A and B are shown apart, each in its own frame.
Chain A
Amino acid sequence: MVRIGRMLLKDASVGISKTLSEILVCPLSKQPLRLCEKTNSLISDSIGVSYPIVDGIPRLVPTDGKMIDLEEGSSTNSTVGSDDGKINHQRGSSS
């Protein structure tokens, strides 16, 4: 049940529109972001910060970002499975 619920939730709010994913970059490093479906956040690999997506609206204010090391530390406790398998690589095409 929990799993199904989570699936439904995912369908409703995970991810951002195609337009946004083409245009948005990390506000600090201006490098491409990748979507992490598990935590529903946008991750800037170049500086290791994740920005949450709430109701389909990405929050890209630097103060809303979380250092990724901290977040991974807390999430590995609660979830099973390797990160790599679930992370969907959606790098914006760089010009």
Chain B
Amino acid sequence: MRASPINLPRRTLPPARLYCTGISDDAVGSSKLKIFDRSLKRKQRDRAAWLMQPKPKDSLVDSVAENLLDRLEDCKRTFSTAACLGGSMEAIRRLLRGRGGIEKFIMMDASCDMVNLCKRAEKDSPNENVETSFVVGDEEFLPFKESSLDLIISNLGLHWTNDLPGAMIQCRLALKPDGLFLASIFGGETLKELRIACTVAQMEREGGISPRLSPLAQVRDAGNLLTRAGFSLPGVDVDEYVVRYSSSLELIEHLRSMGETNALLQRSQILKKETALATAAVYQSMFGAEDGTIPATFQVIFMTGWREHHSQQKAKRRGSATISFKDIQNQFGNN
């Protein structure tokens, strides 16, 4: 009877989810809904590892990673043990430059090729004074011991998890008290132009629409997510990047090299050439600039949260005030 759910085939896995979020009492109502095909995402990230091979430099990813790592400099404390979860973690490693005082750095991705790429890159240009280790793991099933990490960074990866609250709860549990969770995900405005172009073209050519782009979290959800996962001092902010491409094909190539292509379970398996060309035409005519380039919006939501610790500031108990606001107003307000 023990662990029968894990008996090889992938489709029998969902019950195993009980093991992972079940250990925490506050993992209430974690959704069993499957939206994304995680094994396909893994393959796409394998492909991304190959596509980014000659030069793993991507200005969009790099600026997001830079922005994310910048937050480490705002923290007074250092983080000796840090984990970097899947998504664009190569950029994180490359741009780290000693920030956050990290001594032990663990990089985890679901894609073996991506991890190997990072390992090779680490050999070529090691981060000084950082002991880097590598793990192949799934964000939905974090393999980290409870209270073992000072910092968890996730750069553009968590928006592909089926159970984002569950994944974040696992992150919180893996953190030590006063540990920092730092994540960036793509938000709902991302690729809105492509979303519109796909819909229009599909309506026109096929008389109906199928999901081509995944549902993404909205900004207002992000704060709720952090609170629901039990992080204290939650902080959310948003940045919008507009990237200009010379054609929509270039946009798709870029998405491929980031591993950000469609991985919805309910996706349509075929894309007719006609529809694809129509989408490109619609995109060009609706959003194209005069110089022939097309813009694509990427909305990035940055989330920060801390694992609770007694040293953190918190609101005082209700009714514990000793001075009335009226007195304060009398003192300062009326002169």
Tell me the A residues contacting B by CB distance below 8 Å.
16-17, 19-20, 22-30, 32, 47-49, 54-67, 92, 95
CA distance A36 to B178 in the complex (A): 34
Report the minimal beta-carbon distance from A70 to chain B, rounded to whole angstroms: 8
Interface flags for B299-311 (1: CB within 8 Å of A; 0: not) read 0000000000000
Q: Does A28 lie within 8 Å of B119, measured CB to CB?
A: no
Give me 16 other A-B pairs in contact (C-beta within 8 A), A27-B138, A57-B119 excluded. Answer: A23-B145, A24-B144, A27-B20, A30-B19, A48-B2, A49-B3, A56-B134, A58-B143, A60-B135, A60-B137, A60-B141, A60-B143, A61-B110, A66-B8, A67-B8, A95-B145
Q: Point out the residues of chain B lying under 8 angstroms from A32, CB to CB.
A: 145
Q: List 17 A-B contacts (CB under 8 A).
A: A16-B133, A19-B133, A20-B135, A23-B106, A23-B144, A29-B23, A47-B6, A48-B2, A57-B134, A57-B135, A58-B136, A60-B143, A61-B138, A62-B6, A62-B138, A63-B39, A95-B145
Q: Point out the residues of chain B lying under 8 angstroms from A55, CB to CB.
A: 116, 119
Q: Point out the residues of chain B lying under 8 angstroms from A60, CB to CB.
A: 135-138, 141, 143
Q: Point out the residues of chain A lying under 8 angstroms from B149, CB to CB.
A: 23
Q: Does A48 lie within 8 Å of B3, measured CB to CB?
A: yes
Closest to A56 in B: B134
Q: Is B217 an interface residue (CB 8 A)?
A: no
In B134-178, which residues have CB < 8 Å from any A CB?
Answer: 134-138, 141-149
- With beta carbons under 8 angstroms apart, the residue of A16, A24, A59, A64 that contacts B145 is A24
